[in-house]
Amino acid sequence: MLEQLLIFTRGGLILWTCKELGNALKGSPIDTLIRSCLLEERSGAASYNYDAPGAAYTLKWTFHNELGLVFVAVYQRILHLLYVDELLSMVKREFSAIYDPKRTIYNDFDETFRQLRKEAEARAEELKKTKPVGKPLTNNKKQGQVQKSDGGSKKKSDGVSASDGGEGDGTKGRRLENLSNGNHVDTEETKANGLFNGKENTSSNIGAFDVNKLQKLRSKGGKKIDTVANKGPKAEPKKTITKKNRVWDNSPPEAKLDFTDPVGENGDNVVEVVAADQGESMMDKEEDFSSESETEEEEEEVGKDSKPDAKKGWFSSMFQSIAGKANLDRSDLEPALKALKDRLMNKNVAEVIAEKLCESVAASLEGKKLASFTRISSTVQAAMEEALVRILTPRRSIDILRDVHAAKEQRKPYVVVFVGVNGVGKSTNLAKVAYWLLQHKLSVMMAACDTFRSGAVEQLRTHARRLQIPIFEKGYEKDPAVVAKEAIQEATRNGSDVVLVDTAGRMQDNEPLMRALSKLIYLNNPDLVLFVGEALVGNDAVDQLSKFNQKLADLSTSPNPRLIDGILLTKFDTIDDKVGAALSMVYISGSPVMFVGCGQSYTDLKKLNVKSIVKTLLK
């Protein structure tokens, strides 16, 4: 049964709830929905699942953008209520007719709602009777995203064969329905039936060839996955090329790059090491953010726009832009959204994410009134810009220094674990972070937990010597989780403030290695799990992050597993304006970009400038 139906404004005032249903909801599904779904630009999705102790709800929603209303229906997840979408749209229609911004109490809507609900339930009942045809279809279309396709094709083939009998049943049922709750909604009922008849016919038709379609879709999907998986290793060989003698911009000239010869086997007794000091880390430098000329952007915009509008004629579009269009609908937004999506994808945003973002922007604009003297494209652009800023604005505080000091007060070292796929620059950026922390007068210790790749410990040791900080190592072939544990104990003993744990790179699909990582994180409970990802990555970013998060959750033995807390974006200097990876990663993981690595020297560590990223993305 429906648990609750709410109507509220975007400002947050509840205008109407169904008192009849009146069941107290467990937990706060509505607030959670808004916080973790609607405000995260995921409102393009079909439904949202909420879990609380003792309750599992599914929530569906719809917006009325012109009036700024939100309609949310809550029901138990085990009941797959089919009429909810329909009911919501009916409620939306009826309620918007009586809505008045000044009014806050709508008791008279109770009666209307009762009728609407009865109607919807009756229709659902019928659907159930002719179920083989109707159910899989609606299921697939509307809820397919959530309920991992429940063997749709099989049901459908059944459905086609049974459809003849089903229809007969349906009419019978309808008659009965008419008799039973006949009196008060007579006319509407028949109307609805008429409608339904039509629907049924078409649906059975669709059902007939849908099986093929589904198979096609499936094979397509399979292909897609293949290509995605292939892309991963392809990107790899690129970066070996960059490993050359590099002239560092602001490093002392006498610094010798090759530290390997004097070190020998146990290289701790080196003669002298130049303590690396290359000035202030870029994390601390104020970035001067040049506001580029907006006009240029605009002009380009006009050029792009004129194409789809050309058909309508210059005059009518001009008139529209002056007078303001009544209500935006999907077809108006389509061309502008498509252009925007292409632009995002050109900037290396993963396709899935560009798609989802556009959908959610469309959902937020549909039905809105276009202000006078604006073009659709500029409205869409503004909405997208707002959405992007919202996504990239960190949800949690990214003030690591503050957290370090808080940990210091508790006399505990602050532990950061660097994770990521192979060759993205974990160790290099670990050294940069260490350098930055050192500049803030914190004592740092490194833990070499990459016990897998040969040379990894030596690499870290070199960094440690250059920065003159202690390193904890136990050689190779040891369990990294144990090494990390000992390192943290050691740090607690000698009073280090921060422990930076380097781990071996691993592909997101490699289960044994992911299990080891999950164990390391579970055992040591670090304060920060930092995902290191390269900015060069395109569609694979989605795969990497979602799989890392998922594997950490699935393979963990603890009931509430740790996920990725933050992102370190590397190789940011190599991508010019293709900054899409930042958006993809943040959107997928929901965690902020904490550092950006942008060069080869220790100082090349920056904060993410949200404004400039958004500007670049929409350029």
Q: How many CB atoms lie within 10 A of CB 28?
A: 12
Does 274 sit near another protein (CB under 8 A)? no
142, 395, 412, 485: which one contacts another protein (CB under 8 A)? 395
Q: Which is nearer to another protein, 1 or 105 (CB)?
A: 105
Q: Which is nearer to another protein, 35 or 238 (CB)?
A: 35
What is the sign, positive or negative, of the torsion defined by CA atoms of 138, 142, 144, 147?
negative
Does 70 sit near another protein (CB under 8 A)? yes
Show the binding pattern over residues 399-428: x = contacts another protein (CB under 8 A), - = does not. Answer: x-xx-xxx--x-------------------
Q: Which is nearer to another protein, 199 or 440 (CB)?
A: 440
Q: How many CB atoms lie within 10 A of CB 62?
A: 16
Does 390 sit near another protein (CB under 8 A)? yes
Distance CA 613, CA 580 (A): 9
**CA dist list (Å): 239 to 98, 235, 236, 561:** 62, 8, 6, 33
CB of 91 to another protein, least distance (A): 16
148, 256, 311, 441: which one contacts another protein (CB under 8 A)? 441
Q: Which tokens hold the place of 593?
A: 């970009």
CB of 340 to another protein, least distance (A): 20
Question: SS3 for 430?
Answer: helix
Q: Which residue, 592, 569, 434, is CA-closest to 501?
A: 434
40, 277, 355, 573: which one contacts another protein (CB under 8 A)? 40
Does 369 sit near another protein (CB under 8 A)? no
Radius of gyration of the chain (CA): 29
Distance CA 463, CA 430 (A): 9
394, 423, 470, 561: which one contacts another protein (CB under 8 A)? 394
Q: Which is nearer to another protein, 391 or 575 (CB)?
A: 391
The set of residues, in sequence order, having a beta carbon less than 8 Å from that of 386 and lying 6+ positions away, is: none
Distance CA 357, CA 146 (A): 18
Residues numbered 289-348 forming contacts with another protein, rule: CB under 8 A: none
Does 391 sit near another protein (CB under 8 A)? yes
Return the C-alpha torsion angle 438, 439, 441, 442, nearest 10. Answer: -30
Distance CA 178, CA 185 (A): 9
CB of 335 to another protein, least distance (A): 27
Distance CA 570, CA 577 (A): 14
Range in contact with another protein (rule: CB under 8 A) among 33-41, 177-185, 214-222, 553-561: 33-41
23, 39, 209, 558: which one contacts another protein (CB under 8 A)? 39
Q: Which tokens hold the place of 117?
A: 């609900």
Range in contact with another protein (rule: CB under 8 A) among 13-21, 159-167, 305-313, 463-471: 13-21
Write out the residues near another protein by the rule CB under 8 A: 6, 8, 10-17, 30-31, 34-35, 38-40, 68, 70, 104-105, 283-286, 389-391, 393-397, 399, 401-402, 404-406, 409, 440-441
